[in-house]
Structure 1
Amino acid sequence: MIASLVTLLTTTLAVGALGQAPAGAVVPEPPRPAFYEAPATLPSANGAVIRSEKMTFLLDPLDATSLVRNANRVLYRTTNRAGRAIAASGTVLVPNAPWIGVGSRPVIGYAPGTQGMADRCAPSRLFSEGIEYEGIGIEALLLRGYAVAMPDYEGLGTAGVHTYMDRVSQGRATLDAIRAAQRLSGTGLSPSSPVGIMGYSQGGGAAASAVELASTYAPDLKVRGAVVGAVPADLARVATTLDGGLYSAFAFFALRGLSASYDVDLAPYLNDRGRAVSDQVEQECVFDLLNHAFVKSSTLSASGRPMSALMEQEPFRSIVEAQRIGTIKPTVPVLVTHSALDDVIPYAVGRQLARSWCGRGANVWFSTNLAPLHVGGIVPQTAEALPFFEARFAGLPQLSNCWAI
């Protein structure tokens, strides 16, 4: 699995020079498939399915997985951070084999990790191309018999800029993807299906936000627990770690995505090169990581100061603080995992998230591992998720280790 991820992360695609539109404006992209275009009028309910279509789900050259999985691409209604109804796309995967567990088949809302910013990066498109790295991570869930609902998030695949790292938008899109899966005909799922939430890295942030928001935004969902790994709960600390490193592009994704969500024009804060990079990253996927590796944000800013300094002034200070995760108590058990060797999301950030939730009275188990770097941390998380969900769906309590964090 690690080798597959490393291969994806080190594949560099050529990206041509782009014109310098005002930073924050939507950069023209190749036409989207018609499936991803929202209708003029959206359904009234969050999670309502607008349309769906069968899709291939390539985990092998012959796509044998499609013989045992009911794979659908979905377009559904959700509500973004600003309270506007939007269409988001996603994927629903359901094993064809009958559910052999207690009760009805559970559905896991699986929030994907960083995909990129361009519409072509949407997991619901990449699955059918055989290059969606999260396919490996969810395979164990499908083999257990769970259904999986995976959002593409706001603006990823659909119209507009992907609001990367927007806490509320990502959390809501994840919860509404679960609702869409439960309402999709032919899957055997229903609103009474027990629910789990899971994600790592960007997906860890989305899953953590989803479990915080579930009791108020989606009280109809029967959420039993959540597994969140390498959560970017404190963006200011994460940005400092990323600056000038291998994963610098992730910080540029966040700057672009959050400025779009909050309608902030970045142009005055960037120099010519910065504006060009801001436009370029909107056209890129995670495979294009090396295009911006080891680029220091100070070389892109109009003032010559790093992004960390930009985050200390308004409106960015308030925007970044609004993305903090850990301020709302989850009402279900949560497993928080983090590698002490993580080179992207500082281990201390994950530990502080667990402490914050514990301080609010949440049922938390914090699990430290020594997996190599950020990429490696998803392996122990996946291994721990299976017994966690097995216990939650069986109605067993989780023993908290808040006293030891």
Structure 2
Amino acid sequence: MAHKNLLICLTVVISVALTAGSAAAQDDGLPKSLAEAVKMEAADALPRTALYDAPKSLAASKPGALLKHEAFDGYDLPKGARAVRILYHSQNDRGRDVATSAVVLIPAGTAPAGGWPVIAWAHGTSGVARQCAPSLMKDLYYGEEGLMPMVRAGYAVVATDYHGLGTDGGHQYIDKPAQTNDVVFSIPAARKAVPELGARWVVDGHSQGGLAAWGVAELEARRHDAGYLGAVAVAPGVGLKSLSQHLADPGAASFYLDYFAYAIGHMSPGFKPSDMLTGQALARYHDVTTKGCWDYAYASYLGDTTPPKLKPGWDETPAAKRLFTTDAAGEAPLGGPLFVIAGEQDHSVPLFAVRETVAKACKAGATLNFRVYPGLDHDPTMDKSTPDQLAWIADRFAGKAAGNDCPAAAK
């Protein structure tokens, strides 16, 4: 499920903003038809329980409050590990109170003195429909791609679904403030549900979640949470405007046009899909955003050689500009260390976009670590860099200084 590195061999590389898994077209893990995609998603799906139903009002609680929790044994976890699902009080990008679901993964064995060290996990694109919550998938969407190694390494993982995935209310796709809030407010709620969690934590995110992790680093410059130690942003979805310009080429990756229109519409409710999309992209919009998740969306465009047309000037509309501005990174101060990771051959979030954002942050006075992995595409970057992520995280919990790669990165 998580290994979907989509490399479409076209005269123009199709670059996409935020996927937990773009994959090589020949990858056997990808669906070969829409019918196969439906079967794959059904085989991995878990039934939604009453936990995901929000209270009628959140007025009696504050952001970070635990609303519900339940132990759950239906995931594919490392031996001895266990899981607790939670529903908690969060906020959207405009500060409106919302309910968000998450799962807390607890390692095997007994918690160390001071409690389990915590990684707040921010996932990449799983879809935009309610059923696309990773906590409603047997493999939690990422499985062995970074996620389970974190648990085996002795970290409790608090993995938010993001509001609107699992819960009702609509997912604010690639909305940095909304996903940042979902990550930050998941931590105190998880501690209420699982008291053996420690006070100290880091955030680690990939793609859409990499942007959220960067957002947490920016937010912590203002919040100053006592237990926060730093952020890891793997292939963060930055440079959305430049990335979106490649999406109108024919190929399976064209479904991201539908996801982008969905994101803009949820951020600016007056924006309609027809303000951006025409042709097959508009015709498929409803199905792609409601009937399935990543596999379904990918398979919906298989074999399509007709370039989806975009309405001229859509990216200059106030709604589109709001998305690009809201999701900008590298301009705000950072709270604590930041480790940015990029793949040299990433065809979803190209290296130039990450490098430009890192350079911008460095010139603005940030202190960060930056590493490029030669020859790696989007998901392999997450997978192959996991040992380095865990080593960097271990150093933060050990109190070691993170150093600064900005003198070289800012050039």
- Taking structure 1 as the reference length, the TM-score comes to 0.84
Structure 2 CA distance for partners of 1:182 and 1:371, relative to 1, 3 Å: farther
Among candidates 342, 346, 350, match of residue 342 of structure 1: 346
> Percent identity of the aligned residues?
27
Partner of 1:55: 72
Q: Give secondary structure in 1 for the equivalent of 2:106.
A: strand
Q: Give secondary structure in 1 for the equivalent of 2:158.
A: strand
2:66 alignment partner AA: V
* 2:335 paired with 1:331: yes
The CA deviation at 1:33 is 3.5
Partner of 1:120: 131
1:358-378 CA-to-partner distances (Å, cap 9, x unmatched) read 123222111011243222111
Structure 2 CA distance for partners of 1:248 and 1:3, relative to 1, 3 Å: closer
Partner of 1:22: none
Partner of 1:20: none
CA distance in 1 between partners of 2:384 and 2:366 (Å): 23
Partner of 2:240: 235
**Equivalence map 1:7-22=2 (5 Å):** 7-10=28-31, 12-14=33-35
* 2:118 paired with 1:145: no
Among candidates 276, 287, 292, match of residue 295 of structure 2: 287
Q: Give secondary structure in 1 for the equivalent of 2:318.
A: coil
**Equivalence map 1:128-139=2 (5 Å):** 129-130=138-139, 132-139=141-148
CA distance in 2 between partners of 1:144 and 1:194 (Å): 16
**Equivalence map 1:313-328=2 (5 Å):** 313-328=317-332
Q: Give secondary structure in 1 for the equivalent of 2:109.
A: coil
Q: Give secondary structure in 1 for the equivalent of 2:87.
A: strand
CA distance in 2 between partners of 1:168 and 1:358 (Å): 21
Among candidates 364, 375, 384, match of residue 379 of structure 2: 375
2:176 alignment partner AA: R
Among candidates 164, 171, 174, match of residue 155 of structure 1: 164
User: Residues 233 and 326 of structure 1 are in contact (CA less than 8 Å); yes or no, is this contact kept in structure 2?
Assistant: no
Q: Give secondary structure in 1 for the equivalent of 2:212.
A: helix
Partner of 1:398: 402
* 2:63 paired with 1:37: no
Partner of 1:23: none
User: Residues 230 and 345 of structure 1 are in contact (CA less than 8 Å); yes or no, is this contact kept in structure 2?
Assistant: yes
Structure 2 CA distance for partners of 1:104 and 1:297, relative to 1, 3 Å: farther
User: Residues 215 and 331 of structure 1 are in contact (CA less than 8 Å); yes or no, is this contact kept in structure 2?
Assistant: yes
Q: Give secondary structure in 1 for the equivalent of 2:329.
A: coil
1:34 alignment partner AA: A
Among candidates 56, 73, 94, match of residue 82 of structure 1: 94
User: Residues 364 and 402 of structure 1 are in contact (CA less than 8 Å); yes or no, is this contact kept in structure 2?
Assistant: yes
The CA deviation at 1:45 is 1.7
- Taking structure 2 as the reference length, the TM-score comes to 0.83
The CA deviation at 1:319 is 2.8
CA distance in 2 between partners of 1:167 and 1:357 (Å): 16
User: Residues 338 and 367 of structure 1 are in contact (CA less than 8 Å); yes or no, is this contact kept in structure 2?
Assistant: yes
Q: Give secondary structure in 2 for the equivalent of 1:153.
A: coil
* 2:117 paired with 1:111: no
The CA deviation at 1:300 is 4.4
Stretch of structure 1 that moved more, 233-242 or 83-92: 233-242
The CA deviation at 1:201 is 0.9
User: Residues 238 and 345 of structure 1 are in contact (CA less than 8 Å); yes or no, is this contact kept in structure 2?
Assistant: yes
CA distance in 2 between partners of 1:93 and 1:37 (Å): 21
* 2:263 paired with 1:257: yes
* 2:189 paired with 1:189: no
User: Residues 134 and 141 of structure 2 are in contact (CA less than 8 Å); yes or no, is this contact kept in structure 1?
Assistant: yes
1:130-180 CA-to-partner distances (Å, cap 9, x unmatched) read 462245421121112111011111211111221110110011111112222
Partner of 2:18: none
CA distance in 1 between partners of 2:259 and 2:242 (Å): 16
Structure 2 CA distance for partners of 1:261 and 1:8, relative to 1, 3 Å: farther
1:251-294 CA-to-partner distances (Å, cap 9, x unmatched) read 42122023112213315424464443221221221112131358
CA distance in 1 between partners of 2:182 and 2:114 (Å): 26
1:118 alignment partner AA: A
Structure 2 CA distance for partners of 1:158 and 1:392, relative to 1, 3 Å: same
The CA deviation at 1:344 is 0.9
1:93 alignment partner AA: L
2:50 alignment partner AA: A
